[in-house]
Structure 1
Amino acid sequence: MNNIKYKEFTNGEMDEYFSWLDTDGNVINASDGGIIFVDGKYYWYGMKLRPLPSLGGGKGGQTTTVGVVMYSSSDLYNWNYEGVILHCSNEVGHPLYGPMRFERPKVIYNEKTKQFVMWVHYIEYPGDHGFAIGTAEAGVATCSTINGEYEWRGYTRPVDNAGAVRDCTLYKDHDGTGYFIYDRAVDDEDRCLYIVKLSEDYLSFTNEYRRLDVAYRREAAAILYQNGYYFMITSGLTSWRTNPAKYFRAESLWGPWTDMGDPCVNDTGTTFESQSTYILPVEGKSGFFIHMAERHNTQNFERCSYIWLPVEFPTADTICLNYRKTWKLEDFI
């Protein structure tokens, strides 16, 4: 068991790897996931990445042979391992045979169907990005409980099959409508963020969508709503290399969206050497959000670190991120 009881958030520095351990003493390995609050607890989920393979250089470490895992917490500092909620398969030829990818999994709850619905960026064995069907899809799974075993429901592409799916996220609006936001790639150059409305059961895509031309060649979207505005933080397309974040603002998810520039204060153009993953609204604390990001360790993907920072509002219609090595919730709420 881990004897450490965390009382604050600690963000890892690039020259000193910080291991965020679960209550069993194991490194938390939940890549590019999100958090959902259910029945008094936070549930953090993400794809379990692989250690540095014998080939070296991190090759293959960005894939999984386990699946999507989950942790739970009552205070956001200390996390209990819940187990694997979406399993890879050991059966050769199975759509979930690993190594493969469940990249950027996100979960929202459908009150009408009483189902938790997960969408992912799905890439079949051996987990290499492509444009062919099976190498760049939107995959979906469901479960009647937040921490149960999710049932794989298959994969598809929004809009049309010409647009490959890259980084994606989910957003559930005030009225319960679900949206799938993703980087749609026609080829390596023609890539742009799209917002697609989900069906009422969240299991398929409608024909209502928008191409966000202002977010051309952007990915890793993370969204919050506050003060009558939607704010969306994004990343540029530089593969595993970090780049300046950029955020957009709109009064409607359908836009128009305004380019607001880089939200990171006193940064060197690297999003504090990380990339956006999700924006968490803290339960019971209206107007307080945590920007979740990840530092991808390409030398050993199993040892990525997490960069969590409070979202600040200099004015009602702007946001910013200030880097803090350590910080506490009570400092802000």
Structure 2
Amino acid sequence: MLKQILIAVFLLLAGKSFAQQKQSTIRPGELWKDDQGKHINAHGGGMLYHKGTYYWFGEHKGEKSNNAYVGVTCYSSKALYHWKNESVALSVDDSPESLIYKGCTIERPKVIYNELTKKFVMYFHLELFRRGYEAAYTGIAVSDKVTGPYQFLHASRVNAGYWPINLSQENRKIKLKADDYGKWWTPKWREGVEQGLFVREYFYGGQMSRDMTLFVDDNGKAYHIYSSEENLTLQIAELTDDYTRHTGKYIRVEPGGHNEAPAIFKRNGKYFMITSGCTGWDPNAARLLVADNILGEWKLYPNPCVGTGAELTFQSQGTYIFPVQGKKDAFVFMADRWRPSNPIDGRYVWLPIKFENDLPVLRWMDQWDLSVFNEN
């Protein structure tokens, strides 16, 4: 009997050891289970590092719908391999009068910490219940605690009544409207987009804001980066000191370039942004943008992905880039493999960023751990 007990204990410990070993690597595209044994439900996510812990926020999805029937989820980890389910950080509302009424669309939630107010601030792309993608709102919520609950503050389009600082006075004064350019995708229409026809169209009501991310610079200034102008142009907007509103200072990036899914980071004084094209739920080739000033000129570079699968960003679309604490030049590219027919089964593709000629490079890895950054 004692022998059987010892064998059982050995097998139990061996099983735990094996499970821990399995959890000590990141395996892009495979099922990733939390501490409850369930596939992590945090799609289109973002990462916040606070007081020694990483917090992963993302969209909670169901089996049949991409709509928000639960809200924004939060998971925590000390070392990025295994994650604790911290439950729902922001819940949708049961009131039909609420802008975040259950069944609305909440996408790409990101959370940053404000050192002045000591509050955690969440931004997300919001579309209203049963209104398709016409609203193009930014939603904002705050909490005193990193895991929530977050209190919904407000949602709207952004920077109403303000011009982009890099739109010329001449283009601001053009009287032509979108309908005056005729059929989309013609050379005349493309020229109109570059000249700011949609900026003028939505000047008073506010600029569209869909796929988005947040970035806090070294000086504490925060920025909201989002796909705007019918998803044709990226905009980068400065936030107020408390991070809960826009200051009205913003720029346009790659007008007419059809970019979405922005993910941004800073290294050696330069700003890098990886985006995708606009092909719905289907993957496409990533793009790279680089600038010396976040509100300055951005230069477009070729696809940062290389090797097999690079032309489709390894069957994924980026959502966030975050630095690994305690390691130099260590950044992780977070991406999603969308499963629109079964959204809850969407997979996560995390890859380490390497640098060649001072530019970021992404290569596929079946599995990896943080020791990969020891080679930098």
TM-score, shorter chain, exceeding 0.5: yes
Q: Decide which of 282, 295, 298 is 1:241's aligned counterpart.
A: 282
- How far the C-alpha of 1:127 sits from its partner, in A, is 6.2
The range that moved more, 2-11 or 108-117, is: 2-11
Residue deviations 1:154-177, cap 9 Å, x none?
Answer: 112223325322101101001000
Corresponding position of 1:46: 58
Corresponding position of 1:177: 221
Corresponding position of 2:140: 140
Corresponding position of 1:315: 357
Q: Decide whether the 8 Å contact of 1:63 with 1:127 is kept in 2.
A: no
Query: Does residue 1:87 correspond to 2:91, yes or no?
Result: yes
Structure whose CA Rg is larger: 2
Cα distance in 2 for residues equivalent to 1:93 and 1:110:
30
Q: Decide whether the 8 Å contact of 1:101 with 1:127 is kept in 2.
A: no
Corresponding position of 1:56: none
Q: Decide whether the 8 Å contact of 1:107 with 1:116 is kept in 2.
A: yes
Q: Which runs of 4+ in 1 moved over 3 A?
A: none
Q: Decide whether the 8 Å contact of 1:177 with 1:197 is kept in 2.
A: yes
TM-score when scaled to structure 2? Answer: 0.80
- How far the C-alpha of 1:268 sits from its partner, in A, is 4.6
Quote the sequence identity (%).
36
The range that moved more, 173-182 or 264-273, is: 264-273
Cα distance in 1 for residues equivalent to 2:82 and 2:37:
11
CA RMSD, 1 decimal: 1.5
Corresponding position of 1:7: 24
Cα distance in 2 for residues equivalent to 1:144 and 1:116:
6
Query: Does residue 1:123 correspond to 2:123, yes or no?
Result: no
The amino acid that maps onto 2:266 is Y
Query: Does residue 1:218 correspond to 2:266, yes or no?
Result: no
The structure whose residues are more often helix, as a share, is 2
Name stretches of at least 5 consecutive residues in structure 2 with no aligned partner.
1-14, 161-204
Q: Decide whether the 8 Å contact of 2:327 with 2:373 is kept in 1.
A: no
The range that moved more, 267-276 or 166-175, is: 267-276
- How far the C-alpha of 1:287 sits from its partner, in A, is 1.2
Corresponding position of 2:297: 256
Residue deviations 1:245-297, cap 9 Å, x none?
Answer: 00011111012111111000013511111000100101121310000000001
Matches within 5 A, 1:267-278: 267-278=309-320
Corresponding position of 1:98: 102
Q: Decide whether the 8 Å contact of 1:192 with 1:213 is kept in 2.
A: yes
The structure whose residues are more often strand, as a share, is 1
TM-score when scaled to structure 1? Answer: 0.90
Name stretches of at least 5 consecutive residues in structure 1 with no aligned partner.
13-17, 53-60
Residue deviations 1:89-142, cap 9 Å, x none?
Answer: 222332221111221111111111111101110112136211xxxx21011000
The amino acid that maps onto 1:109 is Y
**Secondary structure class of the residue paired with 1:332:** helix
- How far the C-alpha of 1:227 sits from its partner, in A, is 2.0
